[in-house]
Structure 1
Amino acid sequence: MSLDESELRSHLMDLVGIRSPIVAAALLQLVVELRLAEVLDTKGLERIKEAIVAAAVQRRPSHRFAADFEMEVRAKLDRLIAGSEARKG
């Protein structure tokens, strides 16, 4: 079964730990637009990602190890942002 772009984005945002789809979509779009306008540099993007990862790790399921969960969240967040930038660029 293949997921369309919207379903994939929703699924990845949920896995990353961003629960509100409206806030998640807005944040993702804002990051992409700021990157395309060259207002947000790589260091700024990394700080945003670090804040998201830290919040997700704090709210992780109790049965998950923090290090494993953090690595998974980072990978999925990178995939989300890279995919969105590729579609816009």
Structure 2
Amino acid sequence: MPCAQPHEGEVFAGFDLPSGACPGQTQVDSLSETGCGTRFGDYSAADPSTERLFGVYPLESNWARGDREVACIATPLDGGLTTGSLRTS
């Protein structure tokens, strides 16, 4: 979707979680949160406290097939729509 149109959020980064056995939901949540939080500062100069940052990550069944990719998403904290991009030029 073009950033000029109202949208619910923005994918701002992606990264792979470490290989090996699935570390469990709590650890995957933590790794995703930390990884996305770190990458947001590289993507945007926006105050991260004004955005909800989260990662969409593989289910354990997909992990077994080698999927380790996390997609990092930022949405407005108020749950509304946004226009434009958070990306710093």
TM-score by length of 1: 0.40
Considering fraction of residues, name the structure with more helix. Answer: 1
Specify which structure has the bigger relative contact order, considering alpha-carbon pairs within 8 angstroms and separated by 6 or more residues. Answer: 2
Considering fraction of residues, name the structure with more strand. Answer: 2
TM-score by length of 2: 0.40
